[in-house]
Amino acid sequence: MSPENTRSSVPSNTKDQNDDFINVGKQELTIVRVFNAPRDLVFKAWTKPEHLARWFMPKGCTLPKCEMGFRPGGVFRFVIRGEDGKDYPFNGEFVEIVEPSRIVFKGNIHDVPGQDVFTTVTFAVHGGKTKLTVHQTYALESDATRGAPIGWSQTLDHLAEYVARG
């Protein structure tokens, strides 16, 4: 399943099979998941290419290109390869990093002018676990943004598996 062709069937303001809270708007998405791992570990999984390359992609995809300068003003260049072999670039810049509680970045989906996304990821201690919230706003609606709820849910499944290994 390619990230671009993944369609969301998740209604607004609902919980999915992973007990994620998902709120879908026309040009925004909020997804909340609790991880059975300490906040520092979940945050660290976002900080280095060698970590992201292991989990930052939807089911059936790979991340053959993962370059990043993890600092405010640092850039990232990712390529997610779909099951169909098609590459989906996602490039951008880190706007704010507050370790271990917040990462803000802006990016462009598939190198399409105007297909910009602004993402805030927060990490909160939640009874010995980590409550992660991803909030995205989109400049325009597209196949990629409509597929984001399922894509993020599958990506967070990979993150849960990754942090479970410690």
Over the stretch 96-131, which tens digit does the pLDDT of each residue have? 999 999 999 999 987 777 778 999 999 999 999 999
Q: Starting at the edge strand that comes first in sequence, how are the strands of the sheet with 28-35 ordered?
A: 14-15, 21-25, 28-35, 129-138, 116-126, 102-109, 87-98, 75-81, 62-68
pTM of the model: 0.84
Domains assigned to the chain: 14-59+97-164 (3.30.530.20)
